[in-house]
A and B are shown apart, each in its own frame.
Chain A
Amino acid sequence: MSVLVLAEHEAGQLKAATLNTVTAAKQLGGDVHVLVAGSGVAAVAEAAAKVAGVAKVLLADAPAYANALAEPLSALLVQLAGGYSAILAPATTSGKNVLPRVAALKDVAQVSEIVAVVSPDTFVRPIYAGNALATVQSKDALKVITVRTTAFEAAAAEGGSAAVENVAAAADPALSSFVSQQLSKSERPELTSARIIISGGRGMQSGENFHLLEKVADKLNAAVGASRAAVDAGFVPNDLQVGQTGKIVAPELYIAVGISGAIQHLAGMKDSKVIVAINKDEEAPIFQVADYGLVADLFKALPELAAELDK
């Protein structure tokens, strides 16, 4: 049987998280179909059709899907679920919002944030903020799965030539409506796909001081992140939070500045390839996971780092 991937897209672009999810879907066996639901999203469907390994793209183009609201989107997935052995979505805020609703409507369990596919019914997923890994077997006929995208390589965005098939919209339950959004605008790479990330914590002391991080970020073409403490203190907006309940990242290089290293933060970044910690407290737990640690005052170290990178 085939498996269905719910595509994530924004402003007419297929998001990278979809490519990682396609890779996880391929490991389940069977044809991989991708559902593109939205309003005026034919170009997204074309992009999805080019992804290597995708056999078919389903396009549900209707105003009800314009803002990816959970209620209409889950109704659509339930309508399409019959032909599939599994439904997958990236474990983004959008995937996490929609898929449990689908699972409940189909009376099946959801397997959240898988990091490995052991067999078509057995998966590995982190629990307790990643301090343990559980191997779980689903006894349901339909598997509903969200995928931790950092754990799977991205499928090639080019090379496929899937057919695009239009599918009818499901009845809109009309339970909720979109009001507004405030999306953070940034010239820097996105946190979840950046090769280098530099994050600040409570030690930054204020939002203004984040410009010290940003200067370094610009020299490295890095994304800027933050710990929960920095977000709670109002230094930076919520979408920068890295951690158990924020974003999970695994860049080539993660530079933690003024971050003590609570387990909830480590949960979000400990799979990074190289970790650098800059902290004035040499006892800070962050040093226990850092490849390179520098005990220093960040207000001195960050300008020095920016200058050194110019050399």
Chain B
Amino acid sequence: MKVLVAVKRVIDYNVKIRVKADNSGVETANVKFSMNPFDEIAVEEAVRLKEAGKATEIVAVSIGPATAQETLRTALAMGADRGVLVQTDDEVQPLAVAKLLKAVVDKEQPGLIILGKQAIDDDSNQTGQMLAALLGWSQGTFASKVVLGDGSAEVTREVDGGLETVSLKLPAIVTTDLRLNEPRYASLPNIMKAKKKPIDTMAPADLGVDTAPRLVTLKVEEPPKRKAGIKVADIAALVDKLKNEAKVI
């Protein structure tokens, strides 16, 4: 079975982001970018399926600027076989991403698509579900375990009350949660090999998709800052403060 994974280039999760002075967005110049951590988990899951003999080919897809090639190379170094870059410098919102991915899926015909449950930049948590809707496929979101069967997949999902297991008719969409696996670090030989793996580049127009944003960002601001409070000397002082000053217990 062919497995497709979607990967997004985002500001690295360790970077403390800064809001631009003109409130138009966040500062992206001279900032470290990496693959969205949930997408790393998606790539890892696909690679494990291939290692287990259940996946035959892994296609990694990214939508973004030319630099998203680096993100695809990371996926290739982890074990994906080839990359597809839908290159655009425009803002592409989740609905448009889902439409672009659908166009790629229509060509590639994978049996399973794995995506991160959310990107840590816009925190939307939409693309996988939207892609499933557009394809008319089943969805297993926030997965902590995936077991591929014959024509179906059992997915254990992290839900508010604990865990839930659903059975999905294949082809299906899976979105990853944190506990699905621990992504590997690419080895140097694999990083070198990845440089030779093919990446197909195309434009949104080549796929016939209108990516015009549906949401207009009017402004981006810093949230109100919390002030650091005081240090207390011991537990007795803490309980006294909570009882008599904050009055919360």
Interface residues of chain A, those whose CB is within 8 Å of chain B, are 10, 67, 69-71, 74, 92-94, 96-105, 107-113, 122, 126-140, 173-184, 192, 196, 220, 228, 231-232, 237-239, 244-245, 247, 252-253, 263-264, 270, 273-276, 282, 287-296, 301, 304-305, 308-309
Contacts and interface: CB of A to CB of B under 8 A. Distances in A.
B234 A294 contact: yes
Contacts of A287: 228, 231
Contact of A134 (B38, B220, B228): B220
A192 B214 contact: no
Contacts of B215: 109, 111, 136-139
Given A71-B139, A109-B93, A131-B223, A305 B238 contact: yes
Contact of A100 (B125, B157, B214): B125
B34 interface: no
A276 B238 contact: yes
Closest 3 CB pairs of A and B: A291-B229, A100-B129, A109-B214
Interface stretch (B66-74, B82-90, B113-121): B113-121
Contacts of A282: 231
A137 to B, nearest CB: 5
Contact of A179 (B13, B93, B167): B167
B229 A292 contact: yes
Contacts of B217: 134-136
Interface of B: 11, 13, 16-17, 19, 26, 38, 93-95, 98, 117-118, 120-134, 136-142, 144, 154, 157-169, 172, 177-179, 214-223, 226, 228-232, 234-236, 238-239, 241-242, 246, 248-249
Chain A binding surface SS class: mixed
A104 B135 CA distance: 10
A274 B248 contact: yes
A56 B229 CA distance: 46
Given A128-B26, A135-B217, A293-B231, A177 B166 contact: yes
A244 B123 contact: yes
Interface centre among A98, A103, A232, A301 (most CB of B within 10 A): A103
A108 B126 CA distance: 12
A119 B129 CA distance: 27
A253 B95 contact: no
Contacts of B248: 196, 252-253, 273-274
A103 B157 CA distance: 22
Given A104-B133, A238-B158, A253 B242 contact: yes
B239 to A, nearest CB: 5
Given A132-B17, A179-B166, A70 B229 contact: no
Contact of A176 (B126, B166, B222, B228): B166
Contact of A263 (B16, B157, B220, B239): B16
A110 B94 contact: yes
A98 B178 CA distance: 20
Contacts of B219: 134-135
Nearest to B122: A127
Contacts, number: 262
A40 B236 CA distance: 51
A178 B158 CA distance: 14
Nearest to A287: B228
B125 to A, nearest CB: 5
11 contacts: A103-B133, A110-B124, A111-B215, A112-B126, A130-B223, A131-B17, A139-B215, A181-B159, A238-B158, A239-B159, A287-B231
A138 B229 CA distance: 39
A140 B230 contact: no
Contacts of A126: 123, 223
Given A176-B167, A245-B118, A253-B248, A294 B95 contact: no
Nearest to B166: A176
Given A126-B223, A137-B215, A247-B160, A238 B179 contact: yes
B95 A101 contact: no
A169 to B, nearest CB: 18
Nearest to A195: B248
Given A69-B166, A132-B222, A239-B162, 12 more contacts: A99-B129, A103-B133, A104-B131, A127-B220, A130-B223, A175-B136, A176-B167, A176-B168, A183-B162, A231-B179, A270-B226, A304-B234
B16 A292 contact: no
Contacts of A133: 220-223
B228 A92 contact: no
A71 B11 contact: no
A229 B39 CA distance: 19
B141 A97 contact: yes
B90 to A, nearest CB: 15
A104 B98 contact: yes
A228 B37 CA distance: 14
A97 B139 contact: yes
A291 B165 CA distance: 41
A176 B138 CA distance: 6
A5 B105 CA distance: 33
Contacts of A104: 95, 98, 129-131, 133-134
